[in-house]
Structure 1
Amino acid sequence: SSPSLDRSALIYMLLLAVQFGLQPILTRRFTPPDITRSTVVLIQELVKGLLALSMMQITGSTKSALNGWSVRTWISVAAVPAVLYAIQNMAALVAYQNLDALTFNVLNQTKTLSAALCCYFVMGRKQSLTQILALLLLLLSALIMEGIVGNDPGEDNFASATAWDAKHYTHGVAPILLASFISGLAGALSQSNLQSTAGGGRNPYLFSLELCVASILVLTASLAISTDGQHVLREGFWQGWTLPTFIPIVVNSVGGILVGLVTKYAGSVRKGFALIFGILVSGLIQ
């Protein structure tokens, strides 16, 4: 069964909803379009790792969290989610830069459906009838948002669809749908590791730190064979960066820590439902 909600879980969910609503607005405003995306994700993971390490120290949980830790358990618990999250972050950054905040967050909610499906296949955790209906309504809202369903039958649907620049779909819709699916899968794997005895009932700050280190290693290795790596060698690591670029990075890093806390104490499906309030935040600000 799903973990029960206490006051701490509700606070974490509320903070995550606010971060979720602000993130696409901040990223689109302060991340230059010509920046090398891998450098953004790398610094983001570094900041997130430092935050997780700081929180372990502040909460005094470092010693207990590291009890029984080994490189083998780190690889088995963090390696696959880290690769998935690295791909998700790259895809989401592309979408951030090409979609308005409200559209991004509505489409991003398909991650809740993905999380529910993946929790079932990974953990055997079923959803209630009410939750299933809510998930279907969530999917319907995303389809309506993109005009896939709900159009006036008298309209020329083809003309309506082609009114959008193709880039809206290839650099906006497709990347966020990919990121949402990966998020659901990685979230289910993370929830399994955070809550199960097989994952050691892992400390959420330690797990966030483990993911960050693994993601940094994966991204650094990918630079050796990617066009981003060639771009860094040619233009420099900080090409396109400005001081305000760090604003969405820090906010996103805080969100990453909150994701770990919410996943442990509320579950990845409830995390998705909590993020629906982020859409309200985006709508109010936008």
Structure 2
Amino acid sequence: MSNSTKSNDISVDISTKQNDITKTNSQSAEKEMNTVSQSIVFRAMVLFQVMAYGSYSVLVHLCERNGSIMFSSTTMNLILEIIKLAFSISILLIESTKTSIDLFNYKSWLRPSLPYAIPGVLYFINNNLAVYIQLQMDPASYQILSNFKIVTTAILYRLIIKQKLTRKQWFAISLLFFSGLFYSLGAISDPTKNDVTQKRRMYIRPLGLPMVFAYCTFSGLAGVYNEWILKKHYSESLHVQNIYLYTYGTLLNLIPSVGIPLLKSQSLSQLNIFKGFSIYTWLIIITQALNGLFMSVVIKHTSNIIRLFVISFSLVVTAVLSVLVFGLTLNIYFFSSFAAMTCALYLYYSK
């Protein structure tokens, strides 16, 4: 046998072994994802996310005074990012001291962290945009238009992740979107008789529509791109990946949250970045910090499609809290939408 033939045989054998290893790693990752998604802890995290998403808008409205949001969105998001970053670093230090210390070496973490700068910027824009959109339209209009993130996320999920969805799954996503839209439209078409506050009147300022379109696009793109990075480096610790992402989030929110108040203050003694904060603001920070940490687990071990169902079912929590806090009366639109969402969930996961 010639040397060239032996060389070719060796190359083929190495290539075959590499393919087998890749296939084995892929199967192991898939098995781990299935195990995580079926655990009780995972389901508890998803349930908490539904509660966190559902309570967010109610808590924000409780922070409003005379139609204005009293706190700085960048300061709120800065504290959120710091909490998540501190938690991720603490857990990593406990689990692996050597790996954690390497993260503080500039040269060791800068290059691998660069891909996370993109979702960091997208989340920075999206999270702050979500607050300022409230000033451009009433809550009902925001609820209707923000449901379009379901469509943008599904489309971007197909384009970026390259994972095909069956017709039944597309139908389930469509049903999910229209059920949320139907619920929102029902809330508008059946207003309370005592319509004396601005939040109960329907209005959209000219800047509101492009802001919502940008919000839905950034939300979908940030979530899907982040999932792509997390799964591309699936063997890497989730805490390390979160540290990369939250570091950029902290830096991006730090500049405006400190810089803007500093420009408005005549001296450092007058600087107050926590101006307008209330107990409801801190509740938003705590719930959304946990929500962000839990969502990273959901995205890495399942998909962004789960996030869509979380967002849709959070409407139920919003409705219940609105009844308790604002005295909202539930109607047929609520119960019809809830039934449609349940059917969508069953259709998407049924084989």
State the TM-score bracket (shorter-chain normalisation): 0.7 to 0.9
1:216 aligned to 2:250? yes
Which residue type is aligned with residue 182 of structure 1? Answer: F
C-alpha distance in structure 1 between counterparts of 2:250 and 2:238, whole Å: 18
- Taking only the aligned residue pairs, the percentage that are identical comes to 19
- 1:204 is aligned, of 238, 241, 263, to 238
Deviation of the 1:31 alpha carbon = 6.1
Deviation of the 1:250 alpha carbon = 1.3
Deviations 1:167-206 (A, max 9, x none): 4x745x654443232121111111111112xx35343333
1:38 and 1:228 in contact (8 A); partners too: no
Listed as ranges, the matches of 1:156-167 within 5 Å are 164-167=202-205
C-alpha distance in structure 1 between counterparts of 2:294 and 2:243, whole Å: 13
Quickly say closer, same or farther: Cα 1:42–1:280, change in 2 above 3 A: same
Question: Which residue of structure 2 lines up, in the alignment, with residue 46 of structure 1?
Answer: 82
1:71 aligned to 2:110? yes
Deviations 1:212-254 (A, max 9, x none): 1101222334569x86774477873222233542221111111
- 2:154 is aligned, of 92, 111, 116, to 116
Which residue type is aligned with residue 216 of structure 1? Answer: T
Which residue type is aligned with residue 289 of structure 2? Answer: S
Question: Which residue of structure 2 lines up, in the alignment, with residue 6 of structure 1?
Answer: 38
1:191 and 1:268 in contact (8 A); partners too: yes
Which residue type is aligned with residue 30 of structure 1? Answer: C
C-alpha distance in structure 2 between counterparts of 1:131 and 1:74, whole Å: 34
1:23 aligned to 2:56? yes
Question: Which residue of structure 1 lines up, in the alignment, with residue 292 of structure 2?
Answer: 256
Deviation of the 1:108 alpha carbon = 3.8
Aligned residue-pair number: 266
Which has the higher Rg, Structure 1 or Structure 2?
2
C-alpha distance in structure 2 between counterparts of 1:245 and 1:67, whole Å: 35
Quickly say closer, same or farther: Cα 1:178–1:166, change in 2 above 3 A: same
Which residue type is aligned with residue 118 of structure 1? Answer: L
Listed as ranges, the matches of 1:1-286 within 5 Å are 4=34, 5-7=37-39, 8-30=41-63, 33-56=69-92, 60=95, 70-76=109-115, 78-95=116-133, 99-100=138-139, 107-141=145-179, 143-144=181-182, 164-167=202-205, 170-171=207-208, 175-196=211-232, 199-221=233-255, 230-231=263-264, 236=271, 237-286=273-322
C-alpha distance in structure 1 between counterparts of 2:98 and 2:212, whole Å: 38
Alignment partner of 2:202: what SS? coil
C-alpha distance in structure 1 between counterparts of 2:143 and 2:96, whole Å: 34
Alignment partner of 1:50: what SS? helix
2:74 and 2:256 in contact (8 A); partners too: no
Deviations 1:252-284 (A, max 9, x none): 111111110110112111221233221111112
Which residue type is aligned with residue 124 of structure 2? Answer: A
How does the TM-score come out when normalised to structure 1?
Answer: 0.76
Quickly say closer, same or farther: Cα 1:11–1:146, change in 2 above 3 A: closer
Higher mean C-alpha deviation, range 186-195 or range 237-246: 237-246
1:106 and 1:141 in contact (8 A); partners too: no
Alignment partner of 2:235: what SS? coil
Quickly say closer, same or farther: Cα 1:89–1:146, change in 2 above 3 A: same
Where structure 2 has 5 or more consecutive residues not aligned to the other structure, the ranges are 1-25, 190-200, 323-351
Quickly say closer, same or farther: Cα 1:146–1:207, change in 2 above 3 A: same
C-alpha distance in structure 1 between counterparts of 2:120 and 2:228, whole Å: 14
Where structure 1 has 5 or more consecutive residues not aligned to the other structure, the ranges are 152-162
Which residue type is aligned with residue 311 of structure 2? Answer: L
Quickly say closer, same or farther: Cα 1:65–1:116, change in 2 above 3 A: farther
Quickly say closer, same or farther: Cα 1:279–1:14, change in 2 above 3 A: same
1:38 and 1:90 in contact (8 A); partners too: yes
Quickly say closer, same or farther: Cα 1:241–1:204, change in 2 above 3 A: same
